Structure 1
């Protein structure tokens, strides 16, 4: 199946794609897959080949994200709808609002919101298929090297990774862009070209247009050999992750970390543990300078100093001996969010279809666990719940027959750490706050002696 160097010797097509998916998804074709469909050549080739192989029990659908960054974005959505209809593939079009954080590029912000929207739309156990190919992998590794990335960056894109309630799968990493376009032309499939791809002010486009042609002329197998290097690097990163996971477990105090335990580690292990703790909670790793600051001055500070370090998307705060991690507000959120409030994403939860819900950005998951003595009445819940972060002014009635209480006051009385208050998921039935994850239930959903179906709402923060 492969030539020396790991390159596939078979041409891209439905049969070759099915064989690759069988390697990545052991239950294939008894699986549900969802294609991230942009309408460009790569995702069109992926969707077209999948549609040609589709047969029960394979469940296939597609999602198109409209970032609304280009005046023709609606036209592109319509094109995707036409192609999906011609291939008899159900398509969902989702819109996204892109708001870069300070120091963040528009590309990076769009990528973040795209994966968040895709993750939120993913069903339990479903595989999200993206059309990243061999040339994308080469570009990613070179860009990460030029940016001074560590092993995690150079390891580039894995063929399979967890995502929300399912998996992210990249089945095309063994084929080149040229091979995918050849397949499209042979099948007469139409695609669209994003004019942004010709903007040489963007690093990836400049690399693709000006640098890679010269590299390929001198080293024709560059994509294959660099992909092999990325695999070796990914293996080394997995070993570091195992070490980081063990060090974080020793330092953990709930979702927080002991500064004393971290100080006992060597500087290298300390930075590795902090990086693992941050990324495992769903946040982007901090720049090297910020990581050094957390691993050095923050851990060495007096216990009453309460130092903090922030970077786009996250903030680390030390209170006494404990480090806590939370989301930092975006550019438009500072004025509207009260202290402890959170610009976390709003997440829909159809709990009847899945009793456990991973919450991207919150650093954990909510689970409704059936329990005949549980405090929550399942029959009092609507079919769909909404989870969101604090916005200020929330109230609920935690004691049956008692008064409505301000959430701010409840958290102060319970001595919930300031850094955790904005990260606590709030569960709503319509516009009514019915639960604060792991802390309080509103009277409206509390179980009584007459309740027939009871449960516990469990909040599990990421380890």
Structure 2
């Protein structure tokens, strides 16, 4: 079942002190305001200024004013997120935002180990639908985790089971206004089209879609955890870098699984479905010492290095 905002905050137990990623919009404002009331003096705020739109400066001014009123320490980081070929501007901005958040916390508050983000149930549904539209596998269908560790920090999404409207209703009940991001109305972005067109239709046809979609995402996440364990075990057997003959002893599905795992964890790159299929075909053809292999994989190239596979950045 969907939670109320109050229920979600009651279940949230971050290490103290902690930071809140504060964009200035309704969702992060509700989270920051509620957290400062529950843990007075223990909350810090980080605002990321992307500089992608004219309203960005207004957002910063708004965030500074609210944090002064709440007596919350605020750090502002400015990022310019250029995207690589084949990478969406949204994904580039997201990666730059997380890197800036982590840097701000580590630099300004070494005693802070936890960061809270304000994504909610509607964001989770949008993420799942985008993953489905792209033909994603289990990692994509698992959508956004409620808690994870990265860059030496514990990241939390305490509102993932709370509808976005519930956060705005709570702000209204507190007499609190917020700044609306004008880009949220721009339907050239897939996420905004889903929010404006698809979610209202789902609410009419499938009233419980937030809960059922979240349950499917949780099942996918659990299954992916098992596959990650299998991939780690197989990688220990085939070696780093992977030995071709050892890979060939695995089924094609497990070859793909372990190669994705190796590339992601050791080279921070991910092959497309077409690239992985071609790589597996070439791997099956490596029956002689003279067989050459040179394929575009992720952001680099896969080659044969005698008895091993090797990956080099482009």
| TM-score (normalised: structure 2) | 0.90
Distance (whole Å) between structure 2 residues aligned to residue 327 and residue 84 of structure 1: 43
What does residue 110 of structure 1 align with? Answer: 93
Of 11, 18, 26, which residue of structure 2 is paired with 1:41?
26
What does residue 334 of structure 1 align with? Answer: none
Relative distance call for 1:112 and 1:303 in structure 2 (3 A) is farther
What does residue 214 of structure 1 align with? Answer: 201
Structure with higher helix content: 2
State whether structure 2 residue 264 is matched by structure 1 residue 276.
Answer: no
Of 48, 59, 66, which residue of structure 2 is paired with 1:76?
59
Query: Does structure 2 retain, via aligned residues, the 8 Å contact 1:303–1:320?
Result: yes
Relative distance call for 1:49 and 1:122 in structure 2 (3 A) is same
Query: Does structure 2 retain, via aligned residues, the 8 Å contact 1:298–1:318?
Result: no
Distance (whole Å) between structure 2 residues aligned to residue 55 and residue 308 of structure 1: 55
Relative distance call for 1:283 and 1:299 in structure 2 (3 A) is farther
State whether structure 2 residue 5 is matched by structure 1 residue 12.
Answer: yes
Distance (whole Å) between structure 2 residues aligned to residue 299 and residue 99 of structure 1: 38
**Pairwise mapping of residues 160-199 of structure 1 onto structure 2 (< 5 A)?**
160-199=147-186
| Structure 1, gaps ≥5 residues long | 1-5, 329-463
Distance (whole Å) between structure 2 residues aligned to residue 142 and residue 82 of structure 1: 36
Of 38, 55, 78, which residue of structure 2 is paired with 1:53?
38
1:395-446 C-alpha deviation (Å, 9 max, x unpaired): xxxxxxxxxxxxxxxxxxxxxxxxxxxxxxxxxxxxxxxxxxxxxxxxxxxx
Distance (whole Å) between structure 2 residues aligned to residue 115 and residue 299 of structure 1: 39
Deviation at 1:226, TM superposition (A): 0.6
Relative distance call for 1:160 and 1:41 in structure 2 (3 A) is same
Of 270, 289, 292, which residue of structure 1 is paired with 2:277?
292
Distance (whole Å) between structure 2 residues aligned to residue 82 and residue 266 of structure 1: 59
What does residue 124 of structure 2 align with? Answer: 137
Relative distance call for 1:282 and 1:111 in structure 2 (3 A) is farther
Deviation at 1:18, TM superposition (A): 4.1
Distance (whole Å) between structure 1 residues aligned to residue 67 and residue 162 of structure 2: 23
**Pairwise mapping of residues 364-403 of structure 1 onto structure 2 (< 5 A)?**
none
Query: Does structure 1 retain, via aligned residues, the 8 Å contact 2:272–2:297?
Result: no
1:149-187 C-alpha deviation (Å, 9 max, x unpaired): 111111111111111011211110111101100111122
Q: Which structure is larger by alpha-carbon Rg, 1 or 2? A: 1
Deviation at 1:261, TM superposition (A): 1.6
| Structure 2, gaps ≥5 residues long | none
Relative distance call for 1:95 and 1:281 in structure 2 (3 A) is farther
> Which protein, 1 or 2, shows the higher relative CO under an 8 Å CA cutoff with sep ≥ 6?
2
Aligned to 2:23, the other structure's residue is in SS state coil
User: What is the root-mean-square deviation of aligned Cα atoms in Å?
Assistant: 2.1
| TM-score (normalised: structure 1) | 0.63
1:293-315 C-alpha deviation (Å, 9 max, x unpaired): 2333157456563524233x454
Relative distance call for 1:179 and 1:315 in structure 2 (3 A) is farther
Distance (whole Å) between structure 2 residues aligned to residue 118 and residue 317 of structure 1: 36
Aligned to 2:5, the other structure's residue is in SS state coil
Relative distance call for 1:63 and 1:300 in structure 2 (3 A) is farther
